[in-house]
Structure 1
Amino acid sequence: MPFTAYMLHLFHPKDSLTLIKRREGKNWIHAVLILLFVVIVRVFSVLFSSYLFSSNKDDINLLLEIALMLIPIISFSITCYAVTSILSGEVKFKDLFTAFCFSLIPYVILTIPITALTWILSLESGGLYTGLNIIKWAWVIILGFQSVKQMNDYEFSKTVGVILLSVLAMLLLWITLFLIALFCVQWIQFFQSIFNEFRMLASR
């Protein structure tokens, strides 16, 4: 896919989504590349934002910051595909995931200049910083919405319903995985306590 397709998605998503769908899952490398840039830009933003517009840098956990970016993208792609499969969707998972990754291009492009602005703006100008971030994420959401709508040939109202169901399914997925992880930790601790008891008895 040519570089112009990335820029095309910003202002003419219908054309780029048609191109993604026509290529039938051959855009994985581009999706992974965009995700890589998302991670790099996120790390850059966390590390280099002005102290006026960031939390205590001593408490920064980069792995957590990366996870907070990637987990919602991947899990929403999974649940959205599951919902569209049930509700007569036409898109394949690879294409939907690629489209969602392309929807993150505004984040990649705008985050670096917004981060640079934090060193120029004062706290009194914080409204501009907040406004630019709202525009950035609104652009991402609009492109994501358009991806679901066009690639499944849905009406506007059905697209809204599918996205709401996908968000609900994503939250349920997170809760389920959290409970499974908690259950596994409890079992591991239980077996560790039994093992320690046997070891103490054997050492007497």
Structure 2
Amino acid sequence: MDGLKTALMIMFHPIRGFTVIKEKREDFNYTPTLILFILILMARFIDIYYTHYPLSKLNPRETNLWTEFARMLIPLFTWTIGCYAMTTINEGKTMLKEQLASTAYAMLPYIVLTPIIALLSHFMSAKNSGLFYRLQFIKWAWVIILFFISTATMNEYKFWKTVGVCMLGILSVVIIWLLIGLFYSLGDQIVVFAKELASEIKLLNSR
């Protein structure tokens, strides 16, 4: 029930809602955050499989659901880590668990509006794509605004400092992805090298 009240506050009174998360630091509960991430995945599922096909960018039959889930969660988790790292070195007052919670709560417009837009899409054709994409823009603009407000409110930042920290957070996300890609590429090359070395040793032993 507390999670629902917090969600409603964040949707319509975000400054107060994000402040409540901080005020309840000692009684922090991971359950609402977990539920929100599950709802994010459910909304993504609805977006993929229930958006009217002329307006959908994905073909459900050719879509890997787990890949799409990863594409939703990985940016959110890396943002949590990246933004937390930047606030830590910029006099921030947010704990990692609170940053994770604020990330989940900031996705509420996505959770609420995605099923509604998917339903409305069935009353639209390709000729109404302008209205469809405007609704999508409103949804994501609302999400971005909540991310911004959460960073400002939970760390007690002024406007321009929030802008700077958010930009650094985005930069840190890019760096994290690049590092993951680099380690993956190096790991793959090491595996290939090990296989080739094993083959050479086997070939030498067989002579």
For the 8 Å contact 1:20–1:27, the answer to whether it is kept is no
Structure-1 residue corresponding to 2:47 = 45
**Counterpart selection for 2:175 from 172, 177, 194:** 172
Answering whether residue 47 of structure 2 is matched by residue 29 of structure 1, we say no
* Rounded Cα–Cα distance in structure 2 between residues aligned with 1:97 and 1:182: 28
- Read off the aligned partner of 1:186 and give its amino acid letter: Q
* Rounded Cα–Cα distance in structure 2 between residues aligned with 1:50 and 1:196: 52
* Rounded Cα–Cα distance in structure 1 between residues aligned with 2:29 and 2:165: 24
**TM-score normalized by the length of structure 1:** 0.94
Shift of 1:140: 0.7
* Rounded Cα–Cα distance in structure 1 between residues aligned with 2:3 and 2:151: 23
* Rounded Cα–Cα distance in structure 2 between residues aligned with 1:2 and 1:108: 15
RMSD (Å) for aligned C-alpha atoms:
1.5
Answering whether residue 10 of structure 2 is matched by residue 9 of structure 1, we say yes
**Counterpart selection for 1:157 from 153, 156, 160:** 160
Structure-1 residue corresponding to 2:139 = 136
Shift of 1:196: 3.0
Shift of 1:4: 2.1
Shift of 1:123: 0.9
- Read off the aligned partner of 1:137 and give its amino acid letter: W
Inter-CA distance 88–146: structure 2 relative to 1 (3 Å threshold): same
* Rounded Cα–Cα distance in structure 1 between residues aligned with 2:165 and 2:20: 23
Residue identity (%): 33
* Rounded Cα–Cα distance in structure 1 between residues aligned with 2:114 and 2:81: 26
For the 8 Å contact 1:27–1:98, the answer to whether it is kept is no
Structure-2 residue corresponding to 1:124 = 127
- Read off the aligned partner of 1:156 and give its amino acid letter: F
For the 8 Å contact 1:52–1:118, the answer to whether it is kept is no
For the 8 Å contact 2:55–2:125, the answer to whether it is kept is no
**Counterpart selection for 1:195 from 198, 202, 205:** 198
> Which residues of structure 2 form unaligned runs of 5+?
none
How many pairs align? Answer: 204
1:93-131: CA deviations, max 9, x gaps? Answer: 111110111011110000001111222101111111101
1:139-173: CA deviations, max 9, x gaps? Answer: 11111100000111000000000000110111011
Shift of 1:202: 5.2
> Which residues of structure 1 form unaligned runs of 5+?
none
* Rounded Cα–Cα distance in structure 2 between residues aligned with 1:84 and 1:2: 25
Shift of 1:86: 0.5
Q: Which moved more, 1:137-146 or 1:187-196?
A: 187-196
Shift of 1:200: 4.8
Structure-1 residue corresponding to 2:109 = 106
* Rounded Cα–Cα distance in structure 2 between residues aligned with 1:203 and 1:52: 61
